[in-house]
Amino acid sequence: MATVTTQQAGQSAGANPGPKRQPNTGRFGSSVFKKAVMAVTGIIFVLYLIAHMVGNLKAFAGAETFNSYSEFLRELGEPILPRLTVLTIIRIVLLVAVAAHIWAAFSLWKQAKRARPIAYQTKKRVQQSYASRTMRWGGVILILFIIWHILDLTLGAVNPAGRDSLPYGRLVEGFQNPVVTIWYAVALIALGMHIRHGVWSATQTLGHSNKRRERALNVFATAFAVVLIGGYLLIPFSVLFGIID
């Protein structure tokens, strides 16, 4: 059988002049370093989210407990440290982590765009999860949500209870509006998926996954995300259905 796959003259392998860039063997240039930044900052967020979720559940203990917990967070470290010191440190760590997470994400996003300059006409998914596929746009939604969330429940700027209200008042008045509750629910589910893939991906990126652990790790990531987001979702829906008022 005649084989007809010879290349045309002048288009030998030499047509490829090599990479456009010099390989960057520096410490911060490698894509794996950027992934490690994402993984470590992601772990910081997850730890914060666990504490935040547990704190939220105090809404079930009533207005007084909830408001005094909020005050406790501001007084944390007193009298050794001035008021707000510990909270400010936590906020700075989180802000730096957010900046680093976004920097690494955009840098890897840019690299991924360069890596596929021409899209496939047909591309099927073989095994990827919805969570893994939506990490980037999910992340964009999450940052917008976090900005809204701070304006809403921390500062009260966009909350019906106003700026001078107490945390419990903002919580109840805010989530009595079904539109707000649904917006929070959507964002929290997006957060859950981000965490589901993030937990697995961070373990893999930090080099602690292997064939034996892979399955258990994925089950854990899903279970963790479900429990965490479940805990978060309890509050807005309890307000909406009048369990918390």
Interface residue list for other proteins (CB under 8 A): 1-8, 11, 13, 15-16, 18-25, 27, 29-36, 108, 111-112, 114-129, 132-133, 135, 197, 200-201, 203-211, 214
20 SS3 class: coil
User: Closest approach of Cβ 46 to other proteins, in Å?
Assistant: 16
Q: Computed from CA positions of residues 75, 77, 82, 85, in that sequence, does the dihedral angle turn out positive or negative?
A: negative
User: Closest approach of Cβ 21 to other proteins, in Å?
Assistant: 5
> Based on CB atoms, which residue is closest to other proteins, 33 or 60?
33
Q: Computed from CA positions of residues 148, 103, 198, 39, in that sequence, does the dihedral angle turn out positive or negative?
A: negative
> Based on CB atoms, which residue is closest to other proteins, 44 or 86?
44
> Based on CB atoms, which residue is closest to other proteins, 104 or 240?
104
Contact 130, 193 (CB under 8 A): yes
Q: How many residues does the chain have?
A: 245
Closest CA to 235 of 185, 201, 164, 191: 185
User: Closest approach of Cβ 100 to other proteins, in Å?
Assistant: 15
> Based on CB atoms, which residue is closest to other proteins, 89 or 112?
112
User: Closest approach of Cβ 19 to other proteins, in Å?
Assistant: 4
Q: What is the token pair recorded at 86? A: 């510990």
Vertex 93: Cα angle to 92 and 98 (nearest 5)? 95
What distance in Å separates the CA atoms of residue 138 and residue 156, rounded to the nearest whole number? Answer: 25
Q: What is the token pair recorded at 56? A: 């939220």
User: Closest approach of Cβ 72 to other proteins, in Å?
Assistant: 38
What distance in Å separates the CA atoms of residue 103 and residue 148, rounded to the nearest whole number? Answer: 21
127 SS3 class: coil
> Based on CB atoms, which residue is closest to other proteins, 176 or 218?
218
User: Closest approach of Cβ 60 to other proteins, in Å?
Assistant: 37
Q: How far does CA 80 lie from the centroid of its chain? A: 33
User: Closest approach of Cβ 214 to other proteins, in Å?
Assistant: 7
